[in-house]
Homo-oligomer: A and B are copies of this chain.
Amino acid sequence: MERGQPAFLLAQLGAHAANQFTERLAVLQLTPADAGILRLLRVAAAISQQELSEKLRIHPSRLVAILDNLERRQLVERKPNPNDRRLYSLHLTKDGGEILERIGKVAREHQEALLSALNAADRKKLTELLQQVGDQQGLTRGVHPGYQRLGKTKPADLKHS
């Protein structure tokens, strides 16, 4: 919580980065969770909603509404799984692939704007340091903790009421 402390700076800048990216994605009418799903479906096609929810740590019941929306916009398709009729087989559509490219462009612009204070060498160094910390902390690459919720705020009188 102290100013100038790297842990606080990380939390502060991370929230800022997430906010900026969220705003840029809004131009495409997408949320970060939408983008995460589309990106995952490119490399892990045909997975079920259950598998998707586990990989991204999104609650299954929350996935339903998100996928309903993406399917209505024809970015994702729910195909039947012939082996097990309880499961869906999720696929990226042609439109989904195209919007994924636009997401990539938005992400690059976002990153450029975010790191404009640093030269190439410093960006490389920053990336290395962040990756070291992330690996040691056991973070799964490409999975944003914001997708999931924290394990409920236990202490009964923690909240203000």
- Taking beta carbons and an 8 Å cutoff, which residues of A are in contact with B? 1-19, 21-23, 26, 29-32, 35-36, 39, 65-66, 68-69, 103-104, 107, 110-111, 114-118, 122-123, 125-127, 129-137, 139, 141-146, 150, 153-155, 157-161
Contact = CB atoms under 8 A, between A and B. Distances in A.
A10 B20 CA distance: 12
Given A12-B144, A15-B14, A19-B145, A5 B111 contact: yes
Copies in the complex: 2
Nearest to A114: B7
A23 B117 CA distance: 32
Given A18-B14, A126-B126, A155 B26 contact: yes
